[in-house]
Amino acid sequence: MSSPFPLPALHASHSGTWLRPANGVTSTVSKGDAIMAAADTPVLLLNAPLVASRLGYPDLSGLDLLELFAFVHPARFCVPTPRGLAEALGLEEPQGDENVPAFLQAAAGALMAICESAEWTEREGAWSALQNLVRLRWPWAQVLGPFLARPAKAERWLFSKLPEWEEAPERPAPRQTELSPAAVLARLDQLTGAGAEQREGQRAYARDAAQVFSPRDKRGEPHLLLAQAGTGIGKTLGYLAPASLWAEESGGTVWVSTYTKNLQRQLRQESRRAWPAERPDGSPPVVVRKGRENYLCLLNLEDALQGGFAGRAAILAQLVARWAAYSQDGDMIGGDLPGWLGTLFRKRGVAALTDQRGECVYAGCPHYRKCFIERAARSSAQADLVIANHALVMVNSARGRDTGQRPTRIIFDEGHHVFEAADSTFAAALTGQEAIELRRWIIGPERNSRGRRRGLAARLADVSSYDEAGGDAVEAALEAAHALPSDGWLQRIHEGAPSGPVEALLAQVRTATYARDESGGQEAGYGIETEAAGLPGELIEAAGDAEEALAAIRAPLMKLGTRLEAILADAPDWLDAQGRARIEGARHSLAWRIDTLAAWEALLERLGGPTDPEFVDWLAVDRSEAREFDVGIHRHWLDPMKPFAKVVLEPAHGVMLTSATLTDRSEAGPEWGSAVARSGAAWLEVPPRLTAADSPFDYASRAEVLIVTDIRKGDLPALAGAYARLIEASGGGVLGLFTAIRRLRAVHGRIADRLAREGLPLYAQHVDPIDTGTLVDIFRDDPRASLLGTDALRDGVDVPGHSLRCVVMEQVPWPRPDILHKARRLAGGGNAYDDRIIRARLAQAFGRLIRSKEDAGHFVVLSPAFPTRLLTAFPPGTPVLRLTLEEALQRIASGVFGAGNPATGVNESVGEEPA
């Protein structure tokens, strides 16, 4: 049993501040005294940024136990709260805020004891890392030193310790096979387990899902299935049954695509029922695949460890290096790196360690054979199941490096988000931020810039020296790229002194946008926009000059791509396998930039001319709290499912889109029209198959919708008071959803202290210095906690059980009437288009409430005039009551819900579907 560590400990919450001396008694102190105590001597803290936020002192520092936990247990999960840390360390949870300081001392003692224990499984590398952290003056370094024994022999450096990936032969094309319904159901029974209840809805769903794995009849005509599966059907195992059977019989790869990282984690767990962790040869049959920007870049890390990072960021790099040695796959965003680690250091240190800017040098990197990204790509080529996200599937289909590895059997789970993902993937934006990134990619470091960024000339130096034409193309691209914006471009535009044709265009865009804005966003500090129609002559002239400058960049890049192809076709003697891989990577990157430039030129060419009915173009100034951060021109497809159908659906053999909220629901029941339109099926020659399985949950007796009619819109004090009283009545467990960040912050600021004093913690997106995934972890872990958030929490949260028992929406989630929405609304039926969006949002939000058959709760909308036509968003049979806040509080406090319970309000129970 470890002893409490003899250092002072500090804890602050919305209900007060407590300080415990090294060997003394915990006492309540003022915020000022707490800040002074932390300044005088190192104090134990848990989540220093959060404590600093509670004290209103952003410069607070101390001995953060989360940093120590990340050092002692890298790649291990821990909810960053006293309760979560107690569970992770096997300690007794502190009861009440006043007992937290004593617990922090006990937790510090427990972590020190682990470091002295012979059973410490993460000992390797710790002593060497600590020596580096001593030089960086990590607050824990001197404290931890006596507890870490020097190893008997020198420890291997991370970059020598990581295993290398191995090349594998190309996987043959899958065999053509038909899945029999009996075999699919037998596999489903195997996955659900002996003795499991047979759910007819799940069995029918699995049989339908098997259809997408049949051999296709014609090129460009995939088997397309739209499958709606209500919550509780068990759709994950429903489609994994035929997917695993097909992969086994055909030797092919199935891609399952999600929209949220939470579902990816769930899928990885569920897939263990169908596949082992490893095949006999050690390769993984299931691989989680994400975009490059999610993975640790080893070259970036090496640069950070060797002086590229300074101050606190350098400490973060050392902790990340500790994690990298134990990580399962190097996934920094949603993987086994604690989501809270980056936020402890307040700056974008984690992002700087990933390949966010497309700067990878591929085989030119000294760590190429150990690269997490390359390992994931190669593993996915050999996998039976690849778990990815919508954006990656679309990008991989559009410009994957190996056409033979592009997905051909795809299941889009959370299929209601495919439209949004396609809208983002196939859009074009010529903005200052995008243009300056292209300049940096071509030219490389300029002036005193730090980091490892290398321009085209450095990446292809050997090619330039061997191939004169290729060298000339590189030089021409470098010269032409000086026309792109450089550092300080936004300041120059503000001062009326743009440099170069693209900055001159952005200056005209900014002037026109401010002149024509009628949204009121200028005064409110929001971003502003205007349609790209009827533009002034100065802007059109500037667009022509910028278009010529972009064409002058694209031409040598295209020539360079041709020369690289020629070198690969007639390889010189010095070109080894590593050099060939590097040139292949360069070709891939070049193609991406050439496509980007072509899209920008097409966008500029249309300015001043007739509008293209397939696109929506607009000018925008992006701002946050009245601070400008970007200016540019945007283009989106009016229907992004047209390029989606061409790029993703047509080359595929079988595609399934599935979700609990795929269809719109009217009084007549599910309507498939919008689901078909938003799937891309309208752009194919073959019609999709449609199937639906209703949820088995008894919503009539386990849930109800309460529409509160006496909270006037715009009355912020009344809104805040309603939230506080609803959380009190429910005893926590409330998920509060907002349509505006400003109102969320205002409500949180008014009620957090009051709730904390009653033992009801309140957390909030855009307020607490904690990433969204960690906020959900905290909310899930504590049944008395409540969480306020915006769109990201509306359908990206899976919190079954008692921790989520009430969902509160501040108002009807009307669509934001921006230019793109107005254009689609006009094309999609006006008010009916809006209603479909709102019903989908309500259905997704309601879906957070009931995640299992044991769940029960209330769905509250604070809207005095909730339109009756929107009630069909809720499952059939769900009671809907219009009532006052006092009546709603009585029902929530007494645990009354569902049909047959006494109600004082007007009951508008959602009708059952007609037979």
Contact 847, 855 (CB under 8 A): no
Q: How far apart (Å, rounded) are the C-alpha atoms in residues 242 and 228?
A: 17
User: pLDDT per residue over 364-377, tens digit each?
Assistant: 788 988 999 989 98
Closest CA to 857 of 833, 827, 878: 878
- For residue 232, the Cα-to-chain-centroid distance in whole angstroms is 24
The CB density around residue 415, as the number of other CB atoms within 10 Å, is 26
Q: How far apart (Å, rounded) are the C-alpha atoms in residues 389 and 261?
A: 8
Q: Where residue 445 falls among pLDDT bands split at 50, 70, 90?
A: confident
Q: Where residue 247 falls among pLDDT bands split at 50, 70, 90?
A: very high
Residues 6 or more apart whose CB falls under 8 angstroms from that of 102 comprise: 4, 9, 20, 26, 94
Contact 315, 414 (CB under 8 A): no
Contact 773, 261 (CB under 8 A): yes
User: What was the pLDDT predicted at 454?
Assistant: 67
User: pLDDT per residue over 821-868, tens digit each?
Assistant: 999 999 988 999 999 999 999 999 998 898 888 889 999 999 998 999
Q: How far apart (Å, rounded) are the C-alpha atoms in residues 891 and 807?
A: 14
User: What was the pLDDT predicted at 166?
Assistant: 84
Residues 6 or more apart whose CB falls under 8 angstroms from that of 118 comprise: none
Measure the CA angle with vertex 647, ends 642 and 648; round to 5°.
100
Contact 285, 384 (CB under 8 A): yes
Residues 6 or more apart whose CB falls under 8 angstroms from that of 808 comprise: 723, 726, 734, 735, 736, 737, 860, 861, 862
Mean pLDDT of 713-718: 92
N- to C-terminal Cα separation, the chain: 65
Q: How far apart (Å, rounded) are the C-alpha atoms in residues 874 and 883?
A: 18
User: What was the pLDDT predicted at 667?
Assistant: 73
Amino acid letter for position 317: A
Percent share of the chain, pLDDT over 70: 95
User: Token digits for 301?
Assistant: 């890390």
- Whole-model pTM: value is 0.91
β-strand partners of 16: 13
User: Token digits for 78?
Assistant: 């821990």
User: Taking the alpha carbons of 599, 604, 605, 607 in that order, is the dihedral positive or negative?
Assistant: positive
Q: How far apart (Å, rounded) are the C-alpha atoms in residues 178 and 180?
A: 6
Q: Is the pLDDT of residue 810 over 60?
A: yes
User: pLDDT per residue over 750-774, tens digit each?
Assistant: 999 999 999 999 999 999 998 888 9
User: pLDDT per residue over 855-893, tens digit each?
Assistant: 899 999 999 989 999 999 999 889 999 999 999 999 999
3-class secondary structure per residue, 623-663: EECCEEEEEEEEEEECCCHHHHHHHHHCCCCEEEEEECCCC
Contact 805, 858 (CB under 8 A): yes
Q: How far apart (Å, rounded) are the C-alpha atoms in residues 214 and 409?
A: 10
β-strand partners of 883: 708
User: pLDDT per residue over 618-657, tens digit each?
Assistant: 999 998 877 899 999 999 999 999 999 999 999 999 999 9
Is 791 buried (19+), middle (13-18) or exposed (0-12) by CB count in 10 A?
A: middle
Q: Is the pLDDT of residue 906 over 70?
A: no
Mean pLDDT of 213-231: 94
Q: Where residue 783 falls among pLDDT bands split at 50, 70, 90?
A: very high
Contact 43, 30 (CB under 8 A): no
User: Token digits for 110?
Assistant: 């427990």
User: Token digits for 369?
Assistant: 């054979």
Q: Is the pLDDT of residue 450 over 80?
A: no
Mean pLDDT of 57-61: 88
How does DSSP assign 215-257, residue by residue? PPSBTTB-EEEEEEE-TTS-HHHHHHHHHHHHHHHH---EEEE
What per-residue string of b and e applies to 659-686 under the rule 16 or more CB within 10 Å gives b?
bbbbbbbeeeebebebbbbbbbbebbee
Indicate the average pLDDT of the chain.
Answer: 89
- Looking only at the bridges linking them, the beta strands covering 528-531 and 615-624 are antiparallel
User: Token digits for 74?
Assistant: 């890298």
